[in-house]
Chains A and B, each alone.
Chain A
């Protein structure tokens, strides 16, 4: 047992063996489901249940390890982190990387909700994908995703984390483009993978810098760099570069500006995929990464950038969500926006608060996506909200769960979203970092401006979520199908998640914050009672509640009570409305600025460099051989006389040389 200082409290590292068993179930599930599905048609029925069983078993295992960790900690009144080294991956000179796993407070929280929400979504997908012919492949990919995500969360060093990071990127590609026979779906999968890759390039470069600085990629070694930074300007700059690059990786995976463009397109995948990957788990990887390396990020100026980008992304995505008509697109932009909140929290050093929002967001966003999926299959694969309406009568269970989750995400008091969002806004407002106060916009300190953005975004969030609720479940049904409630396999996970969205914040919020605090430096994790004595706290709380309630009220007015108003406003501000509907033309901007020049460059490379130069060289070698062969073969005249002459002339020549030379 050795002592490592992680954050403000000492943590004991405890070697264990057996964490790998958590990973075993999803991996085995993926392989077995795929092979069984490929071999027999009748096995298709069981594919979903097999995969859900694997997911549930990994959840059970995580719980077992969690309980064991807590018991051990209670026994010794210490903070413990389980470490497990599976094998020595490679050693190059002095740089050694083991395939190691780590189970401490942070990874425990991650694994619990990954496997928990993951299992629920597996069960849900059994119902959602009931009529799909390719179920085994789907469930195999889902399990593979779970496997990769667990590697990411359990990784003991940056490289193992990166293995999981890449793995989830791959599974995201496979699952988004699951119905690849439609070109648009395949393109969406490719877009997700390529944009992710750009982020990964940043991640890898950041890792390289860290290897140069620390000689190792173990979390403890890398985090220890932060202690040497005082007065060391070069080290500070290098750390800034490394953390900035890692943040670029995080923007790719967690869909922040500028690399968020893949997430709305990713809605082309089946809804369980959107729920699992693009709401609850994969997109939180960036936040997990930064929390893991929090001691390093705390001493780097990049936190300011993270906070600003988080706030901007939250605001920006919310504006787009206001006018979208596809229910999944609304939820997609909502996800980008909520992730922005989490990055805002990270940016002010409130790492455990960000993780708190990660967990609550996983609950309500997964519930929202699954609810949307339930509506979609209930209305026979219709996704446009303008063809919904009045569904609370035909789909009551879905309605109630969607309602609860909407209230949670809007920040309605006492639901979990309220607690986590409130904590984030409070952390941003009261950030005491000198840089935040020094930078002013129009005379107002930066962190107050970001807080303001956060509040406006909260209002917009409440508005557009309520809009989607009202358009879908209230009023009269505007579609052409016969909607029906979804089966139990679909509704039971909805109920579980809605319950969690409702009560988790109130019941376990404090405990979670306490559990994660002290895990990172300069963390804000004060108890609610303590907070109540802080200046402005109650005022801020009321402002947040006000924003949420007014958002809900305005949306109810616009879409429930006086449905002609939105149309009139859209007409009055037609330009703005079109701008928001077309996503601020960012995709078109990227096309013009990046994709077209790149395509031009690749055309030039293809025609000029590849065809002309390289093929010319290679083919030219062939032509050369051919023509010289032709030339030489002219010596074969076939006429004996010529041969004899040649023979005699050469003999004469030899004799001459012999006598003369």
Chain B
């Protein structure tokens, strides 16, 4: 039973990673990052249920908090970048090239 949860978590994680690499829109990238974090949450809870320990659940709380804070900060950065580049395409933020 647990293996299905872990598999599910792995798939979600992979999708999130793929999204981060492939998608052009910065906001979508942020969403994919959230997806990755949530995938990890699922696997943590599944394993906590299997071993009947509360550590996994506590860990999930921390991850959620950090994810929320990071989402806030990330959106702030996106807004700042948007002000300078007038575009949310991550490809166009390429002025630091050599």
A residues with a Cβ closer than 8 A to B are 633-641, 644-645, 648
Task: Determine whether B12 belongs to the interface, using a CB cutoff of 8 Å to chain A.
Answer: no
B residues with a Cβ closer than 8 A to A are 17, 20-21, 90-91, 93-98
Q: Is the CB of A641 within 8 A of B90?
A: yes
Task: Pick the residue among A633, A634, A637, A640 that contacts B90 (CB under 8 A).
Answer: A640
Q: Is the CB of A644 within 8 A of B21?
A: yes
Tell me which residues across on chain B come within 8 A of A635, comparing CB atoms: 98
A-B pairs with lowest CB-CB distance, top 9: A638-B97, A636-B98, A633-B98, A638-B94, A640-B90, A638-B96, A639-B94, A636-B97, A645-B21
List 4 additional contacts besides A636-B96, A641-B91; criterion CB under 8 Å. A633-B98, A634-B98, A640-B93, A641-B90
Q: Is the CB of B21 within 8 A of A638?
A: no
12 A–B contact pairs at CB < 8 A? Answer: A634-B98, A638-B96, A638-B97, A639-B90, A639-B94, A639-B97, A640-B93, A640-B94, A641-B90, A641-B91, A648-B17, A648-B21
Tell me which residues across on chain B come within 8 A of A638, comparing CB atoms: 94-98
Tell me which residues across on chain A come within 8 A of B94, comparing CB atoms: 637-640
Query: What's the nearest-Cβ distance from chain B to residue A355, in Å?
Result: 81
Main secondary structure of the interface of B (DSSP, over half): loop
Query: What's the nearest-Cβ distance from chain A to residue B29, in Å?
Result: 8
How far, in whole Å, are A634 and B93 apart by their CA atoms in the complex? Answer: 17
Query: What's the nearest-Cβ distance from chain B to residue A536, in Å?
Result: 99
Q: Which residue of B lies closest to A637 (CB)?
A: B97
Tell me which residues across on chain A come within 8 A of B96, comparing CB atoms: 636, 638
Query: What's the nearest-Cβ distance from chain A to residue B56, in Å?
Result: 22
Tell me which residues across on chain B come within 8 A of A634, comparing CB atoms: 98
Tell me which residues across on chain A come within 8 A of B98, comparing CB atoms: 633-638
Q: Which residue of B lies closest to A640 (CB)?
A: B90
How far, in whole Å, are A637 and B17 apart by their CA atoms in the complex? Answer: 21
Tell me which residues across on chain A come within 8 A of B90, comparing CB atoms: 639-641
Task: Pick the residue among B17, B21, B97 that contacts A641 (CB under 8 A).
Answer: B21
Query: What's the nearest-Cβ distance from chain B to residue A409, in Å?
Result: 84
Query: What's the nearest-Cβ distance from chain B to residue A520, in Å?
Result: 82
Tell me which residues across on chain B come within 8 A of A640, comparing CB atoms: 90-91, 93-94
Q: Is the CB of A644 within 8 A of B91?
A: no
Which residue among A633, A634, A635, A639 has the maximum number of chain B CB atoms within 10 Å of its CB? Answer: A639
Q: Which residue of B lies closest to A639 (CB)?
A: B94
Query: What's the nearest-Cβ distance from chain A to residue B15, in Å?
Result: 14
Tell me which residues across on chain B come within 8 A of A637, comparing CB atoms: 94, 97-98
How far, in whole Å, are A405 and B5 apart by their CA atoms in the complex? Answer: 127
How far, in whole Å, are A638 and B17 apart by their CA atoms in the complex? Answer: 20
How far, in whole Å, are A637 and B96 apart by their CA atoms in the complex? Answer: 7
Tell me which residues across on chain B come within 8 A of A641, comparing CB atoms: 21, 90-91
How far, in whole Å, are A648 and B18 apart by their CA atoms in the complex? Answer: 10
How far, in whole Å, are A641 and B20 apart by their CA atoms in the complex? Answer: 8
Q: Which residue of A lies closest to B94 (CB)?
A: A638
How far, in whole Å, are A215 and B28 apart by their CA atoms in the complex? Answer: 91
How far, in whole Å, are A633 and B97 apart by their CA atoms in the complex? Answer: 8
Query: What's the nearest-Cβ distance from chain A to residue B85, in Å?
Result: 12
